[in-house]
Chain A
């Protein structure tokens, strides 16, 4: 009974001033958990911790909504999380190959991936001065994405989730950049097909396994264009 009264009271307070009170604190705390959890989920091993953190974050946001606090629509949260995980996965994967290619952990991870789906990460691995994959075209797109495109996309997605105008705009920009990255990547991969996909264990199946995740850009672009952009009005 006391709980119900307290809830009603807080709900009334939230209705009078929905931007203040426990709802906002819960939503902000939930958002922080979602951000950290989704980025951890994109770091391979970190997903063991990241998954539960994301669930806890979603619970907190649901509790914030129950207090009467106006939360952003759930589809926006889900799409934002998908983009965060997808981008973090690509960004950290390539960052590890670019900067941590001498470690046992990374060599184990990439020699496994290389043997199964992309021999560019297996044959002559760590044989150049830059280290990591020996495919020169792959190294170029890798550094461009790790230092430029993916961090920009992570920042834009965070802004998008916080309903910032710049977040929405730059998420569209980086989605087009992501599509461009895919075109470059697919051409580069197939031009040296025999040395990479052809020399791996899964062959053409491997091509589709590493190609399909790039659908992210083609999935988010139509969705972003049908949204009401004026809803992203925070500065």
Chain B
């Protein structure tokens, strides 16, 4: 029983650290946010229901897919470059 208690409170501390910090940021972020003038619109008081149309047309879909693909290729390339430079920099054979 003592072991269960010992396991539980340690795991609870870990969860509370993330949860507490997240709640702190939920409090702080809206207060730290500085909206640009053009974004303030009268009557935006409701929480969720905003009349938006986020559907992309065909060109926008292609461009979005392409940019995500390019981003992925940059990520892969950078992963290899970082590996090679770090290994070489520490004097190991790549």
Contact = CB atoms under 8 A, between A and B. Distances in A.
A190 B10 contact: no
Contacts of A162: 47-48
A87 B88 CA distance: 32
A70 B53 CA distance: 10
Interface of A: 18-19, 24, 27-28, 31, 43, 69-73, 75-76, 91-92, 95-96, 98-100, 102-106, 146-148, 150-152, 154-156, 158-159, 162-167, 169-170, 183, 186-187, 190-191, 193-194, 207-208, 211, 214-215, 218-219, 221-223, 226-231, 233-235
Q: Is the interface of B mostly helix, strand, loop or mixed?
A: helix
Contact of B50 (A105, A148, A163, A222): A163
Given A95-B18, A98-B14, A191-B89, A166 B33 contact: yes
A127 B85 CA distance: 30
B61 to A, nearest CB: 10
Contact count band on B: 35 or more
Given A70-B50, A222-B71, A165 B35 contact: yes
B75 A215 contact: yes
Given A73-B52, A187-B82, A91 B46 contact: no
Given A155-B22, A234-B46, A235-B30, A73 B54 contact: yes
A170 B29 contact: yes
A190 B7 contact: no
B37 interface: no
5 contacts: A95-B15, A187-B82, A193-B83, A215-B75, A226-B60
A72 B47 CA distance: 11
B50 A233 contact: yes
A218 B75 contact: yes
Nearest to A183: B82
A3 to B, nearest CB: 24
Contact of B15 (A24, A71, A92, A158): A92
A91 B18 contact: yes
Contact of A166 (B10, B29, B44, B55): B29
A31 B13 CA distance: 26
Contacts of B67: 222, 226
Interface centre among B14, B50, B71 (most CB of A within 10 A): B14
Contacts of B30: 159, 164, 166, 235
A219 B65 CA distance: 10
B25 A154 contact: yes
A190 B83 contact: yes
Contacts of B25: 151-152, 154-156
B21 A147 contact: yes
Given A158-B26, A234-B47, 15 more contacts: A28-B48, A69-B49, A95-B15, A148-B21, A152-B25, A156-B25, A166-B32, A190-B83, A190-B87, A193-B86, A221-B71, A223-B68, A226-B56, A233-B41, A235-B45
